[in-house]
Structure 1
């Protein structure tokens, strides 16, 4: 009962994936607000979009790791 709780490697990946998806969604909302408000600095918007693309790549890699290979 007092033993330290350790997560399985796949659970660690799922937690990380969840955080990345949340951050990606937050960036999407922030970019939308900046673009629609007309007050957004174009350089800042470009940087946010670049960060969003990096997150998308990380999300894709983690999803590939978590999805078992299916031999057809």
Structure 2
């Protein structure tokens, strides 16, 4: 369980990660529309995007209250 300070910091980090994730979407889309696309760069950006998504999911899980079954 996160304390209040940790939760505030996690929310700020989460917002930054969401922005970076959206920015990567735009960059990837632009690269794919620019012939010929740099396939290596696109793969690297997609991998970074996946890593960001994993971190986003981790932070969101940490911020959610525990649900008891």
1:56 is paired with a residue whose SS is: helix
CA displacement, residues 16-51 of structure 1 (integer Å, 9 cap, x when unaligned)? 000001000000110001001224210000000000
Give distance in 1, aligned partners of 2:41 and 2:35.
13
Please report the RMSD computed on the Cα atoms of aligned residues, expressed in angstroms: 1.3
> In the alignment, which residue of structure 2 is the partner of 1:47?
44
> In the alignment, which residue of structure 1 is the partner of 2:53?
56
User: How many residues are aligned here?
Assistant: 66
Q: Structure 2: which 5+ residue stretches go unaligned? A: none
Larger Rg: 1
Within 5 Å, which residues of 2 pair with 1:11-26? 11-26=8-23
Structure 1: 4+ residue segments shifted above 4 A: none
Give distance in 2, aligned partners of 1:20 and 1:47.
17
